[in-house]
Structure 1
Amino acid sequence: MNSFKKLTQQRYRLNWLQKKLVNGDMPQIQIAVMCTIGPSRFCAFLQEWRKKYPEVEIVLRNADRDKIGDMLLSGYVDCALVGGPLSNEPRFKYTELFREDMVVAFSPEHRFSRLNTVDLEQIMQEPYLDRLNCEFRDTFMTESARVGHEIQFAARSEREDWIQTLARGGLGVTILPVGSVIVEGLETRPIGAAALRRNVSLAAPFGREDTVHLRSLLSALRRFDWKSKA
């Protein structure tokens, strides 16, 4: 482990200790949520779980993929919702919760609104809004290069709300998970032929289930009927 990674984990550890001093013994579960995962399905889960444990506070930490591993290993968060495995770290246990399709998003006035599905080649011909944390970003770039299309980037951002708002306003199109749509009025269509999907999983370090409430939450996450909440 390099010195920078050690310093990062130490920083998260100090933040964790500060959190414990502030909150005392108040039941609290810290969950890192990968920034590309939408809230709708998890909201349905929390509504059901908190009926049994109303005294437990859930803290949701927004996180980029490359930071979640350190947050878990340092104890800064108890578990994480991720859109795929975190590198090759063997100390994490993964439980798949659900799968969701990737779709193309655009304004209601866009020509794609007249189509039932949109092919990748058609998307490549449009001004593109680049979601910098997108799990399929590299795949899209590679496929574009393979077929000889030079992508015209209209804007790039790590902010999901900004990219979706720009798409809704007609500045371009973007690819995103269907469950991550948060801007009202944003149109979406399935991506034809490519069948792009991602798995949303629960990640937790082995041996982390060290409190009654955390064990209950992790168990409930694994049993919940995620498909019915699509």
Structure 2
Amino acid sequence: MDFDQPPVVRVTAEPDRLDDLAADDWPMTIPAVAQLVRDGLDLPKGVTFLVGENGSGKSTLVEAVAVAYGLSPEGGTTQGRHTTRATESPLHAALRLQRGLAAGRWGFFLRAETMHGWYTYLEQNPRGPGAPADSRFHEMSHGESFLDVLRTRFDSPGFYCLDEPEAALSFSSTLGLIAVLDRVVGEGGQVLCATHSPVLAAMPGATILEVGDWGLRRTTWEELELVQHWRRYLDDPRRYLRHVLD
């Protein structure tokens, strides 16, 4: 029996939990979501990137898996249950996660759009006596606060969900994030990340799933539409800008 398994081995949908997910309503109208519900999704060890256009469903999938794991839909750990306004889809309630044998239960959801609320939650719910105080995230720049979260929260083997973490990061800081994810994986952690960043998606050894009208398909960094567009744009920006500005 293989005891060296990641925190989440496979994601499937339970048929008897699909009552709130009509086939002709969002999010089931998203091809990637429909494919997950129909076929399930295997999550390998290491890092898995979901890459695709806005509206392709990558963030919806990461959110649903994170919440099904026990993480707050607005970010944070399995121990924090803050919320401001519930906007998550009902997909998480239909999902069943096959947990890895002997894998830890620690997890963290880094969601770029809601981290401000999580910082406020930490201020209002400080750590107990003897625990190190949290950083004053609201007094930092957006990027600095993200980097401090990576330093202080990505420090245990577990399941890490990230939704477009590059939104606050410079080029060099994105490279630093790759180093953090590599350390997390080396310590036995597992990562599921939605991203628009060709820099982040180039992480060696990562699994890349391209998300689009076709649903989910495994691909390579070189074959990503995202990478091909960026290459052509950087080679000649006018090729794209003339269609936007004319």
TM-score normalised by length of structure 2: 0.28
Q: Which has the larger radius of gyration?
A: 1
Greater strand percent: which structure? 1
TM-score of the pair, normalised by structure 1: 0.29
